[in-house]
Amino acid sequence: MLAQRILERGSQGKDVKEIQQILLSMGYDLGEAGVDGTFSPQTEAAVKNFQADINLQYPEATVIIDGQVDHQTWFFLKKSRS
């Protein structure tokens, strides 16, 4: 799935929806659209906030705060979900 592609603003589909569901369940704000499967500016902001929080929680991870969901960000999203 995400091993082959990066999700970013403008991406759409079930992968984006899954990311949004995880972020929302952890309390990140997705704006009025919520979980809609579209990687909006609000989703990007939520991902950036998540990435910053990961760097605080796991300083050795050095996640780049770019608002994109690559394999490293996806790893921590899945880890946070379990």
Q: What is the pLDDT of residues 13-69, one digit of tens each?
A: 999 999 999 999 999 999 999 999 999 999 999 999 999 999 999 888 889 999 999
Number of Cβ within 10 Å of residue 11's Cβ equals 18
Q: What is the pLDDT of residues 60-72, one digit of tens each?
A: 888 999 999 999 9
Burial of 77 (0-12, 13-18, 19+ CB in 10 A): buried
pLDDT value of position 46: 98
Question: Is a pLDDT exceeding 60 seen at residue 2?
Answer: no
Beta bridge partners of 7: 69
pLDDT value of position 3: 52
Q: Whole-angstrom Cα distance, residue 41 to residue 58?
A: 25
The residue ranges of DSSP E strands in the chain, in sequence order, are none
